[in-house]
Structure 1
Amino acid sequence: METEKCIVLKHIYKNFGEHQVLKDVSIEVPYGAIYGMLGPSGCGKTTTVKIIAGISEATSGDVLVVNEKMPNLELMGKVGYMAQSDALYGDLTARQNLEFFGQLYGIENVKLKLRIEEVIKVVNLYKDLDKAVSDFSGGMKRRLSLAMTILHEPKVLILDEPTVGIDPLLRKNIWNELYKMTESGVTILVTTHVMDEAEKCTHLSMMREGKLLATGTPAEIQVKAGAQNLEEAFVYFSSMDEEDEGQ
């Protein structure tokens, strides 16, 4: 029996005017997976995850998240979305930012205090909790954005380039936390252009110029390409795609 999927995209196309950004993108994300979307900047990863999060609508095709069609306002409380740009209030402290967003999510005060303690430890910002966000570095802002994304304990977590600007040791710790979340039933979709992060994913899609090149586990993709690593596999599938376009 086929495993039920948490996220399903069926033949997604997205146009901005006459420019086609996504071309027949279909993916299936199992429950409890860390599903990576790997590709260079401008390949369509961000557009894809915005459509999944319900922030943008596809020109055509179907999007299902936990068996519900997106966009769907009722699902927003179950989905955590971390954009590439940090949506933070610079004149507030980290704690005040978390309190504000926690109240928007309707988290009761006692629980909110506990959750703030928990998420701030995940991103190692405990010492900076009462510092103004305007004084944060870019990496610190990314970490706070991640804390805010997981604050309401979403069942689906969508992270767009979440570890850009974060030092390698903390990046490792964050990935460990992501694995722990999947063990408790959270499904995670993460975009990246970094090969070693792609290798950490349980499932993976490779994208280039709005199209999927390959899907599967990282190991399966390498085997399909006859490659020693994911970088070689990406080059292989990109060259195959160019050949198909040239025919």
Structure 2
Amino acid sequence: MSSPELAIDVRDLTKRYGERTVVDHVSLQVRTGRICGFLGPNGSGKTTTIRMLCGLLTPDDGEGRCLGLDIRRQAAEIRRQVGYMTQKFGLYEDLSIRENLDFVARLFELGDRRAAVDRALERLGLAERQHQLAGALSGGWKQRLALAACLIHEPRLLLLDEPTAGVDPKARRDFWDEIHRLAAQGITVLVSTHYMDEAERCHELVYIAYGKALARGTEHEIIEQAGLTVWSVAGADVAALVEPLKQASGVLSVAAFGNALHVAGRDAAALERAIAPHREQPGLRWQRAEANLEDVFISLIAQAQDNFAAPATAQEAPA
């Protein structure tokens, strides 16, 4: 039985399409009122995992509960208490903001639809635009409408699949301010993202690659667990170092940060041997650096086994 403090408590979730395992024994626990960042490259299994959590897909293996409900036997009940925001805008572009929200309220069979729509419009600052067609909205306003639709039935859990893709920095910041307000009210949030600045705004993180969960914990815990040694090199011709360093023994990852490179490895001595041939090169400035989340995640993906090596027979590519 799951703890009442856990909004999500699933173990060994697995999903296969043909011979390819797209989610491979992923376990996930998220406490009530927490914001959990779900990170990973495209095709890593994030969307498939989210769909299993909210009852849209049945796992081939694994078990667990969302909001205290069994993900296999009580999927319909879970869906009524979850707000799911998909990667792509999924509302009707030829309906107005109000008409879209009214339609969603009908789907959830809300008693006083007008009042529910009014609350949603006010909550997300959409009241003045309520008669505007959804198709005429910018990316940031579409995002607000999609979130309003997710919240109209007062869910206890939000599953947000790359919700800020394609919106401007101010819209992203406004969105995250709203997410933190919701978490403060006791709503649990699982949000997938590619942005490291957004990952830093989450209470905890799970990193998934090629269907496997490779790291979990707070930002500090994940960086500590990685045990990386990082060197930074800056100069006029650092781009020429990328390929030689990637091929060197002891180097896990090489990543560009502005005019500098971060060179990371787990064995400090082996890493120093790898960079030694380049240390005296004129015009380069080498110094030790603190590992950050991006260093860790690039290193993790470099070590992960690609599940695309297996033949794909799925009708739907995992995301």
Is 1:91 the counterpart of 2:94 in the alignment? yes
Q: In structure 2, what is the equivalent of residue 231 of structure 1?
A: 294
- The amino acid that maps onto 1:209 is Y
Q: In structure 1, what is the equivalent of residue 261 of structure 2?
A: none
Contact kept in structure 2, 1:83 and 1:159, CA below 8 Å = yes
1:34-74 C-alpha deviation (Å, 9 max, x unpaired): 01111111111111101101111111101310221114212
Contact kept in structure 2, 1:119 and 1:151, CA below 8 Å = no
- Counterpart CA distance in 2 for 1:224 and 1:3 is 28
Where 1:165 maps in the other structure, the secondary structure is coil
Runs of 4+ in 1 over 6 A off after TM superposition: none
Contact kept in structure 1, 2:54 and 2:78, CA below 8 Å = no
Q: In structure 2, what is the equivalent of residue 210 of structure 1?
A: 211
Is 1:30 the counterpart of 2:34 in the alignment? no
Counting only pairs closer than 5 Å after superposition, residues 1-247 of structure 1 correspond to structure 2 as 4-71=5-72, 72-107=75-110, 108-121=112-125, 125-226=126-227, 228-241=291-304
Identical pairs, percent:
38
Contact kept in structure 1, 2:120 and 2:151, CA below 8 Å = no
Q: In structure 2, what is the equivalent of residue 245 of structure 1?
A: none
Flag the 1:156–1:130 CA change in 2: closer, same or farther, 3 A: same
- Counterpart CA distance in 2 for 1:160 and 1:182 is 17
- The amino acid that maps onto 2:52 is I
RMSD between aligned residues: 1.8
1:8-41 C-alpha deviation (Å, 9 max, x unpaired): 1211111011111011111111111101111111
Contact kept in structure 2, 1:14 and 1:22, CA below 8 Å = yes
Deviation at 1:138, TM superposition (A): 4.0
- The amino acid that maps onto 2:36 is Y
Deviation at 1:127, TM superposition (A): 4.1
- The amino acid that maps onto 1:234 is F
Greater Rg over alpha carbons, structure: 2
Contact kept in structure 1, 2:37 and 2:199, CA below 8 Å = yes
- The amino acid that maps onto 1:114 is D
Q: Taking structure 2 as the reference length, what is the TM-score of the superposition?
A: 0.70
Judge which range, 44-53 or 102-111, deviates more: 102-111
1:186-244 C-alpha deviation (Å, 9 max, x unpaired): 000001111111111101001111111100011110111235210011123334445xx
Contact kept in structure 2, 1:142 and 1:164, CA below 8 Å = no
1:125-180 C-alpha deviation (Å, 9 max, x unpaired): 44432111222344433332122111222100000001112211121111111111
Flag the 1:234–1:240 CA change in 2: closer, same or farther, 3 A: same
- Counterpart CA distance in 1 for 2:304 and 2:134 is 44
Contact kept in structure 2, 1:6 and 1:65, CA below 8 Å = yes
- Counterpart CA distance in 2 for 1:232 and 1:18 is 32
- The amino acid that maps onto 1:112 is A
Tell me the number of residue pairs that the alignment of Structure 1 and Structure 2 aligns: 238
- The amino acid that maps onto 2:151 is I
More helix, by proportion: 1
- Counterpart CA distance in 1 for 2:194 and 2:71 is 26
1:72-126 C-alpha deviation (Å, 9 max, x unpaired): 21222211111112221122111110111122223313522431332331xxx44
- The amino acid that maps onto 1:103 is R
Contact kept in structure 1, 2:140 and 2:171, CA below 8 Å = no
Where 1:88 maps in the other structure, the secondary structure is coil
Q: In structure 1, what is the equivalent of residue 233 of structure 2?
A: none
Where 1:91 maps in the other structure, the secondary structure is coil
Contact kept in structure 1, 2:102 and 2:114, CA below 8 Å = no
Flag the 1:134–1:240 CA change in 2: closer, same or farther, 3 A: closer
Q: In structure 1, what is the equivalent of residue 317 of structure 2?
A: none
Flag the 1:131–1:114 CA change in 2: closer, same or farther, 3 A: closer
